[in-house]
Amino acid sequence: MQTRYVWPAFQEEVLEDHGTWELLRNHSGAVVRRMKQGNMIPSFVRGAVETREDWERIKDRFRPVLEGRAPADWDKKVAEWRTRDYPLGGVQSEPWLNLVERWFGELTTKWIRRGTHRSVKELIASIRTWIASWNEHPRPYVWHKTADQILDGLASYCQRINNSGH
């Protein structure tokens, strides 16, 4: 079951065509830039709600009592979810991409840069070995700092670079 924050979901529509790329509204109402060819991740341009007019236009989509917002067998799904023996996960929203980037960072720093690959075939075989090992022994990402600690560090950094005289 895919979580939808907006119901009913927006119909994906191309807003502007720029030849090799296009601006489109995705299922959650956000405007993204997408390359027409290739396998690139769309770039966020603007959210579904940025003005009062935007909100007035779509606010009914956020009402929890709309029919169809949750499946008919919701209680059964919740009971199954509570008794699961695996971690919750899946592609549900844009923040998931941060985990993908983090995983590729692990792959790069802990495997690819430490190895010697004399051919593309060796590199592919090495990556497949990493993936198999990762899947056999998965490790969750653990935050070692609170959000406040991260934001305090960011504020300190911004203060230093803003007053640096550059």
Q: Is the pLDDT of residue 30 over 80?
A: yes
Structure tokens at 10: 């927006």
User: Does 108 share its domain with 158?
Assistant: yes
- The confidence score (pLDDT) of residue 87 equals 62
Backbone angles phi, psi at 91, to 5 degrees: -80, 105
Is the Cβ–Cβ distance between 5 and 28 less than 8 Å? yes
Residue numbers of the domain that contains 82: 1-91
> pLDDT band for position 162 (50/70/90)?
confident
User: Does 117 share its domain with 84?
Assistant: no
User: Does 83 share its domain with 164?
Assistant: no
User: Does 75 share its domain with 128?
Assistant: no
User: Does 147 share its domain with 125?
Assistant: yes
Element (H, E) at 16: strand 13-17
Last residue of one domain, picked from the residues 91, 120, 140: 91
In the block, residue with structure tokens 């502007």:
16
- The confidence score (pLDDT) of residue 16 equals 92
The domain tally of the chain equals: 2
- The confidence score (pLDDT) of residue 45 equals 81
Give the residue among 153, 131, 4, 132 at the shortest CA–CA distance from 66: 4
User: Does 13 share its domain with 55?
Assistant: yes
- The confidence score (pLDDT) of residue 2 equals 45
Q: What is the pLDDT of residues 94-145, one digit of tens each?
A: 566 677 788 888 888 888 888 888 888 988 898 899 888 888 888 776 777 8
Q: What is the pLDDT of residues 35-82, one digit of tens each?
A: 888 767 778 788 888 888 888 888 877 666 656 666 778 788 888 877
Q: What is the pLDDT of residues 147-160, one digit of tens each?
A: 888 888 888 888 88
- DSSP letter string, 121-141: HHHHHHHHHHHHHHHHS----
User: Does 84 share its domain with 146?
Assistant: no
User: Does 70 share its domain with 109?
Assistant: no
